[in-house]
Amino acid sequence: MDEAVAIAQTAIAVIITAAGSSSRMGRGIKKEYRPLGSGINDADGRPLTVLGAAVSAFAANPRIGTIVITIPHNVASAEADARAALPLSLLMSGKASRFLFVPGGSTRRASVHQALALLSAYSPDYVLIHDGSRPWVDGLLIERTIDALRRSRAVVPLLPLTENPKEFDEAGFVIRHLRHASVGTSQTPQGFAFPEILRAHGLAAERERREYYDYVDDAEVWGEFIGPVATVEGSLKNKKITLPEDLKDPEGLRD
């Protein structure tokens, strides 16, 4: 059987992280639930939210099955708030049963682990893990990540740097001079073979119980406990919402 056909017939799940506190956005509505901007509406004519845009991009892909959204664990209305941020057309469609919600943990890694544990009952072959604060993810990047899983069981999108980065110490002195040609900035969705990434998160949790350690992303978790992580070309559109000004759609970045 052709590899492309084979992977299309396997179960691909998605985890979208939205359990954080959004502290850098200031007080008010959690960043994933905020509207993207004036005149940017969903199919129902309502303002399109950050989370709504991210979920819609994955729900539109016929190769993707279950979508798990992580939500704050200490907010009674967390699931209702997350549902309210999604387009009604998604919730009222036949795709509604694909959406699951799970309370997150104290860190992003712990939240992903909670979602992976929930997904284990569905036995997916692969899982894509995406930041709910990246609303501009497009279908091409999603397809590129899925296709790359044919060649590697772990994939991360990267954008090349155009300037040479420097590593510095706590006192502000440069301790390492890096070459931009060999480093890049990582994005999501990051794709993984499901059984291995679930096992890796279990091992990461054990390490965190023994000592303090903060994993930067799921690719690092895989790299420590499983093996090499392949790269795929990232997208300039796929920026992360961190500050209020990031909600403005830069000219030319949205299709």
pLDDT tens across 54-74, in order? 999 999 999 999 999 999 998
- Dump pLDDT digits (tens) for 187-225: 999 999 999 999 999 999 999 999 999 999 999 999 999
Kind of pairing, strands 174-177 and 166-168? antiparallel
Peptide bond into 189 cis (omega under 30): yes
- Which residue type sits at 150? R
In 115-172, which ranges are E strands? 126-131, 154-160, 166-168
> What's the mean per-residue pLDDT of the chain?
89
Task: Compute the distance between CA of residue 247 and CA of residue 240 in angstroms, rounded to an integer.
Answer: 9
Distances (CA, A) of 93 to 53, 168, 239: 16, 51, 29
Dihedral, 136, 141, 145, 146 alpha carbons, nearest 10: 100
- Which residue type sits at 113? H
pLDDT tens by residue, the chain, 255 residues: 455 544 544 699 999 999 987 555 556 678 999 998 777 888 888 999 999 999 999 999 999 999 999 999 988 999 999 999 999 998 888 777 889 999 999 999 999 999 999 999 999 999 999 999 999 999 999 999 999 998 899 999 999 998 889 999 999 999 999 888 888 999 999 999 999 999 999 999 999 999 999 999 999 999 999 999 999 999 999 999 988 777 765 544 444
Task: Give this prediction's pTM.
Answer: 0.90
What is the end-to-end Cα distance of the chain in Å, rounded? 35
CB 50 within 8 A of CB 132: yes
